[in-house]
A = this chain, B = another copy of it.
Amino acid sequence: MAIFTKVTKSQYQVRYYSAPLEMAIPPSKKKYIPSSGTYPKGFLVSGTHVGVKASNTKFPDLALILSEVPCSAAAVFTTNKFQAAPVQVSRETLRKRHGQGIRSVVINSGCANAVTGRAGLEDAANMGKKVDECNGLKEESTIVMSTGVIGQRLPISKILDKIPTAYSTLASTHDAWLTTARAICTTDTFPKLLSTTFTLPSSPDRQYSLAGMTKGAGMIHPNMATLLGVLCTDAPIAPTILHPLLTHAVSRSFNSISIDGDTSTNDTIALLANGAAGGTPISSPSSDDYTAMQNILTGFAQSLSQLVVRDGEGATKFVTVRILNSPDYNSARLIASTIARSPLVKTALYGGDANWGRILCAIGYTQGVAPGTVVPERTSVSFKPVDGSPELKLLVNGEPEQVDEDRASAILQDEDLEIVVDLGGGERGEKGLGGEEAVYWFCDFSHEYVTINGDYRT
């Protein structure tokens, strides 16, 4: 840590290791916190202080989300081979219940309950059971999530003792949703909560709502990492189609962002649909309602996942990388992901350095790309400013441009940037462009990232 511990905290962005104080939210991030919302009918939520970390003496660290009626539910989980206890327990619950009859989600921050052996599995199961008891239910009806340090047992008695409090304080107000969103935070500097309303083609006069909360902020990379998310809607969706709907949305949102390329043991995104707003259930993937729901859910998940990038640990930049004219989608996605993970690209962006050679480098060393995808003489790279001014060409068909460094620096001063890589159709370029496109969202790599992660457990 050397000299940087001597820098007073006020000199850089303050970041707490548990849910942040309201007053500590950086001024630049306040615009991402909604001051009101329209939340789905029949859902009640609460955020409660437990003190999972002994050092947390007052901030909420237990989130409870409950539906007054049984929900269709689906979840996508981390692909890490070390699966945290709550991941194992929740997957089993969803399997047993065939994605039906789910009533609640309970989440603690401050401890991941990962790599905790058999005892950890019991702890996770007991968290869910306690919620079901409060709810008067005998069958497993609760999805459990945890986030925080790996390899430590949960202070399970403290958590179980506070679940009745969490239950008794459930509410449907905007403030309740915001407190709940805050309770799942770890190194996040602001709670991530969004809500929206929509209609479906089959009943254009009926208003549905969709709300979601998520948390980051380190270890974010597909397939997800210390990333938790809960999406709730009062639209009626059959359990059989909930999982494909969620998978489609997540692959284009939470699995298309990168903070540091690390992938955690605990990641879970759950979707609950309670149908409380009425209407005909969506049950066929070939219906207009399904298509509409898919678009709404995917767009919403993208907006929500972008908040995670905005709050990437130490992030000062929000970068979109768009790969155009790739012969195939998978190669485009791999290239986007590799650029998004490159420490050299990320530090150059942090330093406001238009070092596009590093972007090329990352394109060139991407593993697993189909042969003939990357042809240097067909590759072009440019920066696209967010203010709508013309893009700045850096490389055109493999030849470097005379770059206006002043304009490049000016573009890199903005918080937002889009990097466009045009593969020109790869080897098939002469016969016409390939046309596949992939997008990734990522942030830069800063001193602050190192500070946060050099000393996370203290």
Chain A positions near chain B (C-beta within 8 angstroms): 1-4, 7, 11-12, 79-82, 112, 114-117, 149-152, 218-219, 225, 260-265, 341-344, 347-348, 350-353, 355-358, 360-365, 374, 376, 394-395, 398-400, 445-447, 449-458
Instruction: Tell me if B1 and A455 are in contact (CB < 8 A).
Output: no
Assembled-state Cα–Cα distance A447/B314 (Å): 12
B-chain residues with CB within 8 Å of residue A117 when the two chains form the complex: 398-400
Task: Name the distance in Å between A183's Cβ and chain B's nearest Cβ.
Answer: 22
Number of copies: 2
Partner of A456, one of B218, B353, B365: B353
Instruction: Contact check, B351 vs A455: say whether CB atoms are below 8 A apart.
Output: yes
Q: In whole angstroms, how far apart are the Cα atoms of A261 and B366 in the complex?
A: 11
Taking CB atoms, residues of chain B closer than 8 Å to A152 are 400
Select from chain B the residue with minimum beta-carbon distance to A397.
B117
Whether the pair B150, A361 counts as a contact (CB closer than 8 A) is: yes
A115 interface neighbour in B262, B360, B455, Cβ under 8 Å: B360
Q: Are B348 and A454 in contact (CB under 8 A)?
A: yes
Q: Roughly how many angstroms separate A214 CA and B263 CA in the complex, as a whole number? A: 34
In the docked arrangement, what's the CA distance between A355 and B456, Å?
8
Chain B residue at smallest Cβ distance from A366: B81
Knowing A117-B398, A150-B361 touch, does A453 contact B374 (C-beta < 8 A)? no
Residues in chain B near residue A1, CB distance under 8 A:
350-352
The answer to whether B453 and A351 touch across the interface, beta carbons within 8 angstroms, is yes
Q: Is the CB of B454 within 8 A of A357?
A: no
Bound Cα distance A394, B152 (Å): 12
User: Given A263-B365, A347-B454, list of 12 further CB < 8 A pairs?
Assistant: A1-B350, A2-B12, A80-B365, A82-B361, A82-B376, A150-B358, A225-B365, A262-B344, A262-B362, A347-B452, A351-B456, A355-B457
Known: A262-B365, A358-B150, A360-B115. A453 touches B343 (CB 8 A): yes
- Please give the distance in Å from A89's CB to the nearest CB on chain B: 15
Pair B447/A261 contact, Cβ less than 8 Å: no
Choose one: B3, B7, B150; the contact of A360 (CB below 8 Å): B150
A264–B359 alpha-carbon span in the complex (Å): 11
Known: A262-B361, A264-B361. A400 touches B450 (CB 8 A): no
Contacts of A82 in B (CB 8 A): 360-361, 363-364, 376
Q: List 29 A-B contacts (CB under 8 A).
A: A2-B12, A2-B447, A81-B363, A81-B376, A82-B376, A112-B357, A115-B360, A115-B398, A117-B398, A117-B399, A117-B400, A149-B355, A150-B356, A150-B361, A151-B356, A151-B395, A151-B400, A261-B341, A262-B344, A262-B358, A263-B364, A343-B343, A343-B449, A350-B450, A353-B455, A353-B457, A355-B457, A447-B447, A450-B450
Interface pair A454/B264, CB less than 8 Å apart = no
Say yes or no: B454 contacts A351, CB within 8 Å.
yes
**In the complex, how many angstroms separate the beta carbon of A456 from the nearest chain B beta carbon?**
6
* Known contacts A262-B344, A265-B360; A115/B456 CB under 8 A: no
Within the complex, the shortest CB–CB distance from A367 to chain B, in Å, comes to 9
A3 nearest in chain B by CB position = B11
Residue among B12, B353, B395, B453 making CB contact with A454, cutoff 8 Å: B353
Question: A80's contact among B263, B350, B361, B452, by CB below 8 Å, is which?
Answer: B361
Distance of A395 Cα from B151 Cα, bound (Å): 9
Closest to A2 in B: B12
Whose C-beta in chain B lies nearest to the C-beta of A375? Answer: B81
Contact yes or no, A357 B149, CB < 8 A: yes
A264 contact set on B, CB distance < 8 A: 361
- CB-CB under 8 A from A11, the residues of chain B are 3
**Chain B residues within an 8 Å CB radius of A456:** 348, 351, 353, 355
Enumerate the 3 nearest inter-chain pairs by beta-carbon distance, A residue then B residue, closest first: A150-B357, A351-B454, A347-B453
Write the chain B residue with the least CB distance to A222.
Answer: B365
A363 CB, min distance to chain B CBs, angstroms: 7
In the complex, the chain B residue whose C-beta lies closest to that of A360 is: B82
Inside 8 A of A364's CB, which chain B residues have their CB? Answer: 80-82, 263, 265
Residue of B nearest to A13 (CB): B2
Given contacts A115-B360, A263-B365, A361-B262, contact A449 B347 (CB under 8 A): yes
The verdict on A12 contacting B7 (CB below 8 Å), with A357-B115, A450-B347, A456-B355 known, is no
- Interchain CB contact under 8 A, B112 and A365: no
Cα A269 to Cα B80 in complex, Å, equals 36
Asked whether, in the complex, the Cβ of A395 is within 8 Å of the Cβ of B115, the reply is: yes
